């Protein structure tokens, strides 16, 4: 054991607080979650299998029999599909965030954090930021797979790198927004298992009653309305527009006409609402 120099007596904590303290604490928690994820690589791996499987299955099973606009060309569907799979993949981070936070509750870690003089929202922010990093990695791998099976940005309309990156930016923002929904679910259920299934089940209708996998103009009118106004559809439409993919919806609904703005507004609203609710729930966790 080394002698302790007088200058660095750790018994007296440095006073934190305010925005700086909050950012600092969030980064400490994010680092913890990233170390954790790096030690359970199978979780990241399984997170990749599902979207890769969807890319392959949808491309080869549905491609050729799906009608996008007036075309049933398999190449058109393939290029149409990718934005949908990307968007669905980022929303699935919800389950991971929820399960992680529920696990922390279950193991008493949330109690420990709550007994520390740290920023109130930092535990949740740290987790969602770590999930964002994981989502970015997943998306990167998925984009490579998409290119390998024949996704060609600019297939329908010309695009450029800036627009493509902007599209991925919107996807990450959507994913980040959804992890806050996951955080709230994680704090509201009793077991990590419940958080995983509770985090996933509702995502199926949200991601399927949308323009992600089929041309929504071919849906029955009431369903089409839901799909056109679905926050998830806005990001898909925005990505198709930015990537120059085929099958951009011609619907007159506002989010379909202004998809980039709609995607931004929806994501920011989701973050504002669910962050508020989740932090409130965290502060009262356990009674």
Helix, strand or coil, per DSSP, at residue 93: helix
Taking the alpha carbons of 20, 26, 28, 31 in that order, is the dihedral positive or negative? negative
CA 208/CA 274 separation, integer angstroms: 22
DSSP assignment, residue 202? Answer: T
Closer CB to other proteins, 96 or 247, in the complex: 96
Which of 228, 267, 229 lies closest to 250 in space, CA to CA? 228
CB of 264 to other proteins, least distance (A): 33
Identify which of residues 117 and 205 has a Cβ nearer to other proteins in the complex.
117
For other proteins, give the closer residue by CB, 12 or 220: 12
**Phi, psi of 168, deg, nearest 5:** -65, -35
Q: Closest CB to other proteins among 29 and 166?
A: 29
Give the integer Cα–Cα distance in Å for 203 and 144: 24
- Nearest approach in angstroms of CB 17 to other proteins is 8
Cβ closest to other proteins, residue 126 vs residue 231:
126
Q: Supply the minimum distance, in Å, between the C-beta of residue 68 and other proteins.
A: 44
**H-type alpha helices, 155-283:** 161-188, 192-200, 203-208, 221-229, 231-243, 254-257, 259-283
**What are the C-alpha distances in Å from 7 to residues 10, 14, 267?**
9, 13, 47
CB 119, min distance to other proteins, A: 9
Q: With respect to other proteins, which residue has the nearer C-beta, 63 or 126?
A: 126
Q: Which of 10/221 has CB closer to other proteins?
A: 10
CB of 28 to other proteins, least distance (A): 5
Contact between 267 and 177 under an 8 Å Cβ cutoff? The reply is: yes
Give min distance, CB of 10 to other proteins, in A.
4
C-alpha distances (whole Å) from 258 to each of 8, 19, 166, 233 are 56, 34, 15, 12
The residue written with tokens 């929202």 in the block is 121
| CA 159/CA 12 separation, integer angstroms | 56
Query: Under the rule (CB under 8 A), what is the footprint of other proteins?
Result: 1-2, 4, 8, 10-11, 13-16, 21, 24-25, 28-29, 31-32, 35-36, 39-40, 105, 107-109, 111-118, 122, 187-190, 285-287
The helix/strand/coil state of 71 is: strand
Residue 21: CB minimum distance to other proteins, A = 7
Rounded to a whole number of angstroms, the minimum distance from the CB of residue 26 to other proteins is 11
Whether 172 and 132 have beta carbons less than 8 Å apart is answered as yes
Smaller CB distance to other proteins: residue 116 or 144?
Answer: 116
């Amino acid at each position: 054991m080394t002698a302790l120099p007088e200058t660095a007596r750790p018994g007296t904590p440095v006073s934190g607080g305010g925005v700086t303290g909050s950012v600092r604490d969030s980064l400490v928690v994010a680092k913890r979650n990233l170390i954790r994820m790096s030690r359970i690589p199978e979780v990241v791996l399984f997170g990749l299998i599902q979207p890769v499987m969807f890319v392959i299955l949808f491309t080869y099973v549905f491609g050729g029999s799906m009608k996008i606009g007036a075309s049933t060309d398999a190449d058109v569907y393939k290029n149409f599909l990718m934005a949908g799979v990307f968007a669905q993949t980022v929303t699935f981070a919800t389950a991971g965030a929820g399960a992680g936070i529920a696990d922390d509750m279950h193991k008493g870690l949330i109690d420990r954090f709550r007994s520390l003089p740290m920023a109130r929202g930092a535990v949740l922010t740290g987790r969602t930021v770590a999930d964002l990093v994981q989502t970015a990695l997943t998306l990167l791998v998925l984009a490579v797979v998409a290119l390998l099976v024949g996704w060609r940005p600019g297939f329908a309309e010309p695009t450029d790198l800036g627009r493509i990156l902007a599209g991925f930016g919107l996807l990450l923002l959507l994913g980040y927004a959804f992890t806050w929904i996951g955080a709230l679910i994680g704090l509201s259920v009793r077991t990590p298992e419940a958080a995983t299934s509770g985090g996933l089940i509702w995502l199926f209708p949200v991601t399927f009653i949308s323009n992600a996998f089929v041309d929504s103009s071919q849906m029955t009118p009431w369903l089409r309305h839901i799909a056109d106004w679905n926050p998830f559809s806005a990001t898909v439409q925005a990505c198709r527009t930015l990537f120059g993919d085929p099958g951009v919806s011609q619907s007159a609904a506002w989010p379909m006409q202004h998809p980039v703005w709609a995607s931004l507004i929806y994501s920011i609203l989701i973050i504002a609402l669910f962050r508020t609710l989740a932090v409130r729930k965290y502060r009262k966790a356990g009674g």
